[in-house]
Amino acid sequence: MNFDEYRGVWVFNEQRDGELVDVGIELLGAGRELADKLETELCGVLIGHNVSGLAAELFEHGADKVFLIDDPITEQYRTETYMKAAGDLVRKYKPEIFLYGATSNGKDLASAVATEVMTGLTADTTLLDVNVEKRLFEASRPAFGGNIMATILCKKHRPQMATVRPKVMKKPERQPGRTGEVIEETFSMREEDLRTKIIDIVRDTKKGVNLEEADIIVAAGKGVKDEKGFKLVEDLAAVLNATVGASRDVVEAGICGHDHQVGQTGATVTPKLYIAAGISGAIQHIVGMQNSEMIIAINNDPDAAIFNTAHYGIVGDLFEVLPLLTEEFKKALQEETEEGGVPSHA
């Protein structure tokens, strides 16, 4: 394999029903930084039907080129068609790095393409960098139960590939009017050649805990000890109109459901305010909330790792601190309402 033939940083820009999935835009920001360090192009990969109009949005978020396969057979995601489409593009244009969002479809496609073109894949990465001198992609993720960060290299194969979970990277600023080159490729598969058929699409309409979209999260850690301690977190969340989160320890103790879990094996969140109550600050939790705009930690251990990530820290017993905070926020919001204003959290 001649590595010198492989150039460019690619991002798979997943779309659903003609709408771009946010994580693809987030990865254009991360991909832009990698491409600039390597002095190479940033390219989006767009696969679907009647999706050519989405290319403009990719250019405005940093892509220099967009590889487009627009065919009725790729209107809905199927492993067979998308693996063939992406695999053909990789074999023809030889990207150096290929990033995918860690959505259900993104993870499925990335692993299928890795098998198709015989290269490596790092899953659920949280940090991306590159060794410019050796042109080696450095994909880092928590390992061994979150006790260490492992940086994984793909030294013998190309492209170097990784999946990244939604909300881990920040969206780049839009540059209105920015343009680029669209390279459209034809697609040769026929419906009758496929082994999978889409009979119907049934959407999950169940309403659960929506941590990803929450502006304020009050999260419970092992320090809450039991349901009584967890209730204090719920009380503060209710006053702030916040969503309740939790660390893995709390979920595994059966105090709340997995849909509340924040971290490597739960949700990745980016609220405006994240209040961590009784959370120690293990790596697997930090990777899920470290991009919050403001983090306030409450812990009775002044040496707790959570304070290294928090913007503000309260060293104290959460069983004393949480009721005080709840009462003070109640008073402040009540006074705001009585003065004729609208509570700031509403």
Return the pLDDT at 146.
64
Report residue 346's pLDDT band, with 50, 70 and 90 as the boundaries: very low
Question: What whole-number distance in Å separates Cα of residue 159 and Cα of residue 5?
Answer: 11
Q: Name the phi and psi angles at 335, rounded to 5.
A: -60, -40
* Cβ atoms of 223 and 300 closer than 8 Å: yes
Report residue 117's pLDDT band, with 50, 70 and 90 as the boundaries.
Answer: very high
**Distance separating alpha carbons of residues 159 and 97, to the nearest angstrom:** 5
Q: In 10 A of CB 42, how many CB atoms?
A: 27
Asked if the model's pLDDT at residue 3 lies above 50, the reply is: yes
For residue 19, give the nearest of 53, 42, 43 by alpha carbon.
Answer: 53
How far apart CA 103 and CA 93 sit, in angstroms, is 25
Paired tokens of 111: 């692993």
With 80 as the cut, is the pLDDT of residue 103 above it? yes
Confidence of residue 345 (pLDDT cuts 50, 70, 90): low
Q: What's the mean pLDDT in 217-239?
A: 96
Length of the chain: 346
Q: What is the pLDDT of residues 280-325, one digit of tens each?
A: 999 889 988 998 999 999 999 999 999 999 999 999 999 999 999 9
Across residues 219-240, what is the average pLDDT?
A: 95
Q: What percent of the chain has pLDDT over 90?
A: 78
- pLDDT bucket at 341, cuts 50 / 70 / 90: low
Give pLDDT, residue 334: 87
pLDDT at residue 194 greater than cutoff 50: yes
> pLDDT averaged over the chain?
92
What does the pLDDT read at residue 268?
86
pLDDT-derived band of residue 76, with 50, 70 and 90 as boundaries? Answer: very high
Q: How far is CA 143 from the centre of its chain?
A: 18
Q: What is the pLDDT of residue 207?
A: 61
pTM (global) more than 0.85 = no
pLDDT tens digit sequence for 122-169: 998 989 999 999 999 999 988 776 677 899 999 999 999 999 988 888
